[in-house]
Amino acid sequence: MKYELYGDQQSNITILAIPALGERTEFYRPLAKQLNEFRWIVCELPGHNGYDTKDSSIISYIHKLNHLLDSLAVTKVHLVGASIGATIIQAFYQQYAEVVQSLLLLDGGYYFLGDRQGSHEEITLQTIDNFEEIKTAVHEFTYGIEGLNPKNYEQFEQYFLGNYILDKGFYRHHCDVASYNALSQEVETIN
């Protein structure tokens, strides 16, 4: 299990956070910085940001989350999940309710079942050989967001640029396509 620790690691209040599909642990860094009096454990999703696993199922993942909490001697936890992370923490709660103190679902409506109509489109992630193209696109996107202060523009830009890694001479999104698609499809059975 790949994870990051933020905040006060001596705190008796622990928050376990799961990012959205395609996101990284750094997604929660600004929130953890504001709430730094708590112990934060932020986990990567399978196939995301270097967390390589043969089994990217949600059920396997929640068992690994529980094992991680045991290994860190966490007996009670507050759960935070964004998008698919919200689905995952609900599944965790169903399996390990005795450990959970609260749930915070951020944009937990991954999709509406009626809108999907049983079809699933797999994504493909392109590789790019010129990082300057990525930098230009990220800069234009970031500074196209209205109403942020200068520090926030810089934070967003750096976060988005961190989504791309050099792999075999090309830049690609940090997320493994097979894991992304497997997790996305599995939401239908977990939701």
Q: Where are the domains of the chain?
A: 3-112
Q: What pLDDT is stored for residue 114 in this prediction? A: 46
**Residue 191 DSSP label:** -
What SS3 class is residue 104? Answer: strand
Spatial contact of 92 and 79, defined as CB atoms under 8 Å apart: yes
Scan for tokens 């493909």, then name that residue: 124
Is the CB of residue 186 less than 8 Å from the CB of residue 105?
no
| Chain mean position to CA 181 | 14
Could you tell me which of 1, 7, 57, 5 has the C-alpha nearest to residue 37? 7
Prediction pTM value: 0.85
Q: What's the fold here for domain 3-112? A: Rossmann fold (3.40.50)
Q: Tell me how far the alpha carbon of residue 171 is from its chain's centroid.
A: 20
Residue 45 is predicted with a pLDDT of: 95
Give the pLDDT of residue 130.
86
The residue ranges of the chain whose pLDDT is under 70 are 109-121, 191
Tell me how far apart the alpha carbons of residues 82 and 114 are, in angstroms, rounded to a whole number: 21
Distance between CA 55 and CA 58 in Å, rounded?
Answer: 9
The pLDDT value recorded for residue 180 is 86
